[in-house]
Amino acid sequence: MVAALFATMNFQARIDPEKPALALAPMDGITDAPMRALQGESRAFSFAVSEFVRVSTDAIPPKVFRREIPEVEAGGLTPTGMPVQVQILGGDPELMAQSALNAIQAGATSIDINFGCPAPTVNRHDGGATILKYPCRVRDLVRAVRDAVPAEIPVSAKVRLGWESIDDIYENAAMAEEGGASWLTIHARTRVQGYQPPVYWSPIGKVREQLSIPVVANGDIWTFEDYLRCREETGCMHFMIGRSALANPSLPYQIAQEMGIREGEIGGIREPMDWIRLFERLNTYVEFYRGRTPGRSVARLKQWLNLAARFGGFEHFDAVKRLDSLDELMEKLAVELGVLARA
């Protein structure tokens, strides 16, 4: 009985080709450790990917991974039990391999390589989506990391469709597989598009047919209907959502329920919380991590509320956007959401 229960539980960020999975997208500046802990509470996500750690002139030492991604010291899990993958970004295979090894030494249990970041500074320094211009480099980077870390550690890659052309995906995807990627996550846009519409889901479906590793579909799944359409267009059973999960906290719940995530597990998926409860829980995790991880709580909370206002109809962002202290922000939110008035 206990063995059967453990068999259904997931302690490592990995994808089973036969089982649906829903991943929380990495979002630099928003999905830090407290936010990942909060998102883990819903139990809707199979795993999360960390914000990227950039490898430029030297390998990243284990202590930096422990500071930036404190879950590595807790078996790679959030305090709410969600596995977290460590994402690294860079263009030098040797430094990337050494950094991945250092991440494992720090406690990481799964590695993702970022080939999608569109930030000009990152791209100028040979990282993120720039590498998509040279498919062989995708292969070489994945292979270097794959060869460096133990076989039981998944090494995945996250890409955009290409730098400029959506057709670049086919060669880059083949190269990621050839390099030994455990799975491939595809954000259905090019680098040149940035975050502009449209997303192109159908090439993801073609890549899925072309590869023998699992393919995770990502990009602009804003509603439950989008999820159904994306599934239809791509034929995928693995998905990643980012902005919509934060803008609409009930969406991961709806999708995970339809996918059958946590089926057979005690507790199942948790009902979505209301905004004020979410903020309170986030504060709990900010306290939990205080002093152990960079305190970016105000900036992160504002980024979150901004997303919620732009994409989720959250109406109170304007009232708090100029506040700089977390206490003030929480107090104002409580008033705005009518919590004090009710008390």
Which sequence positions are flagged as catalytic?
A: 117
| Shortest Cβ 264–ligand FMN spacing (Å) | 27
Contacts of 16 (CB under 8 A, 6+ apart): none
How far apart are alpha carbons 343 and 334 in whole angstroms?
10
Cβ nearer to ligand FMN, comparing 208 with 336: 208
Q: Which residue is nearest to ligand FMN (CB)?
A: 242
Neighbours of 13 (CB within 10 A): 29
As measured in angstroms, the least distance from the Cβ of 90 to ligand FMN is: 13
The answer, yes or no, to whether the previous bond of 62 is cis (omega within 30 of 0) is no
Q: Which of 13, 55, 241, 255 binds ligand FMN (CB under 6 A)?
A: 241
Q: Does 25 bind ligand FMN (CB under 6 A)?
A: yes
Task: Output the six-digit token pair for 49.
Answer: 């990917």
Task: Name, in order, each residue with C-beta under 8 angstroms of 327's C-beta and a sequence gap of 6 or more.
Answer: none
Q: Does 27 bind ligand FMN (CB under 6 A)?
A: yes
Out of 35, 86, 161, 221, point to the residue binding ligand FMN (CB under 6 A).
Answer: 221
| Burial grade of 26 (CB within 10 A; 0-12, 13-18, 19 or more) | buried
The encoded tokens of residue 251 equal 């969406």
Among 14, 66, 139, 158, binds ligand FMN (CB under 6 A): 158
Residue type, 304: W
Binding residues for ligand FMN, rule CB under 6 A, total 22
Of 17 and 29, nearer to ligand FMN (C-beta) is 29
Burial of 71 (0-12, 13-18, 19+ CB in 10 A): buried
Could you tell me which residues come within 8 angstroms of residue 35 by beta carbon, excluding any fewer than 6 positions away? 282, 285, 300, 304
Q: At what angle do helices 224-234 and 202-210 cross, to 10 degrees?
A: 40
Contact with ligand FMN (CB under 6 A): which of 21, 36, 45, 51?
51
Site string for ligand FMN, 69-108 (x = CB under 6 A): ------------------x---------------------
Binding segment toward ligand FMN, per CB under 6 A, in 9-17, 171-179, 240-248, 271-279? 240-248
Residue 218 within binding range of ligand FMN, rule CB under 6 A = yes
Using CB under 6 A, list all residues that contact ligand FMN: 25-30, 51-52, 87, 114, 116-117, 158, 187, 218-221, 241-244
